[in-house]
A and B are shown apart, each in its own frame.
Chain A
Amino acid sequence: MNILNTKPIANCNNAETLLPQFVDGELSARDAWQLEKHLANCRDCSLKVEQLKLTIDLLHDTARLDTNDNFMAKLHARLDDIDASASDTRTNTPRPSLREIITGYTRVLHVPGVPIGVAIGAVAVLMVALIPGLKTTPATQTTAKPDSHISTVVEAQLAQTAADPLGDAAADQLVVHPDSAVQDSYNP
Chain B
Amino acid sequence: MVAMGNTMHADFALVQRAKAQDRAAFNEIVLRYKSKVYNYIYRQVESAADAEDLTQETFVRAYLSINSFQSRASLNTWLFRIATNLCIDQGRKEKRTRSFLAPRPKEEDNSIEQDVPDSSFDPQELALNTELGVKLEAALRALPEKLRTVILLYDIEGLSYEEISAILDCPLGTIKSRIFNARSAMRDKLAPYLQSSV
The residues of A with any CB-CB pair to B shorter than 8 Å are: 19-20, 23, 43, 46-48, 50-52, 54-56, 58-60, 62-68, 71-72, 74-76, 78-79, 82, 90-93, 95-96, 145, 147-149
Q: Give the CA-CA distance A23 to B55 in the complex, in Å.
A: 33
Q: How far is the CB of A135 from the nearest CB of chain B, in Å?
A: 25
Contacts of A56 in B (CB 8 A): 155, 183
7 more contacts with CB within 8 A, not counting A60-B155, A92-B21, are A48-B187, A59-B155, A59-B186, A67-B38, A67-B55, A75-B59, A95-B23
Q: How far is the CB of B118 from the nearest CB of chain A, in Å?
A: 17
Chain B 143-173 near chain A by CB (<8 Å), digits 1 or 0? 0000000010001100000000000000000
Are B52 and A71 touching (Cβ within 8 A)? yes
Contacts of A55 in B (CB 8 A): 183, 186-187, 190, 194
Contacts of A95 in B (CB 8 A): 23
Are B156 and A82 touching (Cβ within 8 A)? no
Q: Give the CA-CA distance A133 to B34 in the complex, in Å.
A: 40
Are A71 and B194 touching (Cβ within 8 A)? no
Binds A, one of B90-98, B102-110, B126-134: B126-134
Contacts of B183 in A (CB 8 A): 20, 23, 52, 55-56, 59
Are A59 and B156 touching (Cβ within 8 A)? yes
Q: Give the CA-CA distance A95 to B27 in the complex, in Å.
A: 13
Chain A interface mostly helix, strand, loop or mixed?
helix
Are A71 and B63 touching (Cβ within 8 A)? no
Residues 23-60 of B contacting A (Cβ, < 8 Å)? 23, 26-27, 30-31, 34-35, 38-39, 42, 52, 55-56, 59-60
Are A59 and B196 touching (Cβ within 8 A)? no
Asked whether B81 is an interface residue with its Cβ less than 8 Å from the other chain, the reply is: no
Interface size of B in residues (CB-CB distance below 8 Å): 46
Given contacts A50-B197, A67-B35, A147-B20, contact A72 B190 (CB under 8 A): no
Q: How far is the CB of B131 from the nearest CB of chain A, in Å?
A: 12
Are A93 and B196 touching (Cβ within 8 A)? no
Asked whether B7 is an interface residue with its Cβ less than 8 Å from the other chain, the reply is: no
Q: Sorted from nearest, which 3 A-B pairs have the closest CB atoms?
A: A59-B155, A20-B180, A93-B21
Given contacts A52-B184, A63-B127, contact A78 B155 (CB under 8 A): no
Minimum CB distance partner of A150 in chain B:
B21
Of A20, A63, A72, A149, which contacts B30 at CB under 8 A? A72
A-B contact pairs, 8 of them (CB 8 A): A20-B177, A47-B196, A65-B125, A67-B35, A75-B56, A93-B22, A145-B21, A147-B20
Q: Give the CA-CA distance A65 to B36 in the complex, in Å.
A: 8
